[in-house]
Chain A
Amino acid sequence: MTQYVAPRPGSSGARRLVGGPRPSDRIFRGLSYGSAALIMVILAGVAVFLIIKAAPAIAASWSTGDLASGTTAGYANFWAYSGPLIWGTLWMSFIGLLIGAPVAVGIALFISHYAPRSLAGILGYLVDLLAAVPSIIFGLWGIAVIRPYLLPFSHFLTEYLGWFPPFGGQVSTTGSTVLAGAVVLGVMVLPIITSITREIFLQTPRLHEEAALALGATKWETVRLAVFPYARSGMVSAILLGLGRALGETMAIALIISPSIVFSVALLTENQNSQTIAANIAVNFPESNDLPRAGLIGTGLMLFVISFAVNFAARWIVGRTGGSAKERRSRKIAPPSDAASILTLDVAASPLEALEPRGSSAHPEGQEPSIPELRD
């Protein structure tokens, strides 16, 4: 038994009770605030340094000097150069989403509402694994597998549907087409769209679904009447985030398509494939001089602005997901919107479930019914 000794007045113990925060406290607090501030500085830095490096090319005359030769020859100014690239980026991403998004939503629906409860977690993890595959691997896969694979299909499309502009033109013999690039993009946006829509489908108020079922609706009618209306804006925002991913994809596209900087809708041709901004930078950056490099950085700045806008729109819409304004405010937390943190939740939430008995939203089987607001 230790004997309790009351501290004498004025001793160190008493001073600590009334004194201010300790130095360790203050230092840690400062470091923590500093890191948060550093994030603002980094993002501002990205914008500022890109603008500084791009400005010479945007202001320069493109008819003389370095810019009049090589890969940048023949453009009146920066905007004439970046215009077709912006078009190519948007077009390629659009086709990729057209292929990937419906499948992704289907998978999310399968995992959240159709698959057996006990399997849902594992199946979700399998799809998340797609997010862990580096993009260069998908690029090599696109070259080795998808290109030859799509050739017969391309011939079929041009022969029978050639009157439709995207399928028209001289069909490619190598398969390095926009379509091949878009298929690979479609695969790459799958995990991000699936993981977000899955989270939102799982957040549908259980009572809405039970009400629909009680009225005699079939499973599909329940989904159409209760789940889709609740998740609509979340789905839109997930698809926009997928678009953000597709816009910035570089190496897969740079490897797969044989590009030209044109406004073209052709999907299957040899030399009318609209080039994307990111792939154009990757292809031309190593061999460029200072000024053309500045031009490339300028197009990179355009890409930054576009993907910023797309991401901004996605966040704004996801903030409006589900239920009344009051419900949204009470939820406070939007579902995790990047694949990495969902993967983390999947992997790590199980040991921590002891601390949060209701379970992580990444584990549908651990959820209690009728509590749509998870971590609040």
Chain B
Amino acid sequence: MSADTARTASNSFTATRLPRLIELYTALGALAVSGIVIALIGWTTTGFLVLAAALYLMLTGVVSGVVENRRKAVDRLVRGLVTVAFLLALAPLVSTLYEVIVRGWQALDWNFIFTTGGTIIDPATMKITNTIGAWQAVIGTLEITGMATLISVPIGILTAVFLVEYSPPGHWMSRTVTFLVDVMTGIPSIVAGLFAFALFTLVVGPKAFSGFSASIALCVLMIPTVVRSSEEMLKLVSPELREASYALGVTKFTTIVRIVLRTAIAGLITGVMLAIARVIGETAPIFIAASFTNNFNGDLFSGAMQTLPVMAYTGYKFPSSDIPASLQSAWGAALLLVILVVILNLIARLIAWAFKPKGLQ
């Protein structure tokens, strides 16, 4: 055993090595073999990829184990495994987007966005008309998320200012707030919805469903995100800038507003955009706090309100008499939601790019 180890160690510089691109060759070989085998027994893309990955891992392990040594074989095997894990994670991302786009595309057009959908029963003839449309949900989403943003952003940024600028390091209040913000990031979204529902039934009484209640639920989820990202951004502002400002006799308020916040503005807006992108897709809290409806309701402060994610959910869970139409509008709402999230993410990137602090590059 020890003699063997000694031999391996002394030979490690001169021992046979596999060619540099062996992993590429093995991968191509594995893909080819897997392609032939799967084509013979009936084509499935998943089967092809899984078999190719398994073949690749086995081949690298065995070839390297025979030609090189066990340690190198393990090393190559792990490299292969880790790469496969990464490719595996891309599969759901690609598959989800593909599925939403392909299925949602059939429903999505300008009419779908600007028509109020729902089921209307004509009392005279008892004839049921199903209209496909998402206007009520688009308005609901924009109003509820907008109100949540209006409330959360000032609170979030001011709290971040407190944590970075005002509280002495290690002060009990900053430690408590940091801890509570961390805890709030972990609140399950449905609990936020239950909180808003409980709050509004106690204050307003029963029948407390309203868009504003949903906004409060979203605030509980949005504030910690805004605090965390703004805090990170404010910390990136170098202390020299603040000190230079103080040295000129500028007051703390002016320094924070004109120097610190202005320097970090791109990061702050980016953080806010991403926070909006996060809460705009929340379903559970809105479903609990604002319930759901097919009627148009533009009043944030009374009555049930529909939003896009809830529309996608209810389309599947409580379909109308015309089931295919319900499913189609659910996918349409889902695609519309994804488009909104993508737009918000793009805006975040654009702002980060456009607001580069000038003269500091």
Contacts and interface: CB of A to CB of B under 8 A. Distances in A.
Interface of A: 21-22, 24-25, 28-29, 31-36, 38-40, 42-43, 45-46, 49-50, 52-53, 102-104, 106-107, 109-111, 114-115, 123, 126-127, 129-130, 132-141, 143-145, 149, 187, 190, 194, 216, 218-221, 223, 241, 244, 247-251, 254-255, 278, 281-283, 285-286, 290, 296-297, 300, 303-304, 307-308, 310-312, 314-315, 333, 336-338, 340-341, 343-345, 347-352, 354-356, 360, 375
A134 B72 contact: no
B316 A140 contact: yes
Contact of B183 (A281, A308, A343): A308
B182 A311 contact: yes
Interface residues of B, number: 123
B154 interface: yes
Interface of B: 9, 12, 46, 71-72, 74-75, 78-79, 81-86, 88-90, 92-93, 95-96, 99-100, 103, 154-156, 158-159, 161-163, 165-167, 173-174, 176-177, 179-192, 194-195, 197-199, 201-202, 206, 219-220, 223-225, 227-229, 232-233, 235-238, 241, 251-254, 256-257, 263-264, 266-267, 270-271, 274-275, 277-278, 280-284, 287-288, 291-292, 309, 312-313, 316-317, 330-331, 334, 337-338, 341, 345, 348-349, 352-353, 355-357, 360-361
Contact of B190 (A126, A278, A308): A278
B253 A25 contact: yes
A132 B341 contact: yes
Nearest to B226: A340
Contacts of A107: 82, 85-86, 89
Contacts of B228: 336, 338, 340-341
Contacts of B206: 290
A135 to B, nearest CB: 7
Contacts of B277: 132
B232 A336 contact: yes
A355 B237 contact: yes
3 cross-chain pairs, A with B, having the tightest CB-CB distances, nearest first = A134-B281, A248-B188, A106-B85
Contacts of B95: 141, 145
A311 B360 contact: no
Which DSSP category, helix, strand, loop or mixed, fits chain B's interface? helix
A338 B224 CA distance: 10
Given A248-B189, A311-B183, A351-B266, A39 B345 contact: no
A220 B75 contact: yes
Nearest to B316: A255
Contact of B202 (A52, A134, A315): A52
B313 A251 contact: yes
Contact of B223 (A42, A130, A307): A42
A136 to B, nearest CB: 4
A74 B16 CA distance: 72
A45 B199 contact: yes
Given A53-B201, A140-B330, A281-B194, A337 B182 contact: yes
A340 B223 contact: no
Question: Which residue, B89, B174, B256, has most C-beta atoms of chain A within 10 A?
Answer: B89
Contacts of A315: 179, 182-183
B360 A111 contact: no
Given A114-B79, A251-B287, A340-B275, 7 more contacts: A33-B162, A52-B198, A53-B198, A106-B86, A132-B345, A338-B228, A354-B357
Contacts of B83: 110, 114
B54 to A, nearest CB: 15
A43 B71 CA distance: 52
20 contacts: A25-B252, A28-B252, A29-B253, A32-B162, A36-B162, A49-B198, A50-B191, A50-B195, A132-B341, A135-B281, A137-B312, A140-B312, A248-B188, A248-B189, A248-B191, A286-B287, A304-B188, A340-B278, A354-B356, A355-B263
A42 B283 contact: no
Contact of A50 (B71, B92, B194): B194
B278 A241 contact: no
B99 A343 contact: no
A25 B103 contact: no
Given A36-B159, A39-B181, A250 B190 contact: yes
A250 B177 contact: no
Contacts of B191: 46, 50, 248, 300, 303-304, 307
Contacts of A42: 184, 219-220, 223
A190 B159 contact: no
Contacts of B71: 218, 221
A38 B155 contact: yes
Contacts of B9: 216
Contacts of A360: 236
Contacts of A137: 96, 100, 281, 312, 334, 337-338
A250 B252 contact: no
Contacts of B282: 134-135
Nearest to B345: A132
B89 A190 contact: yes
Contacts of A218: 71-72, 74-75
Nearest to A24: B253
Contacts of A102: 85
Contacts of A247: 188
Contacts of B82: 106-107, 109-110, 114
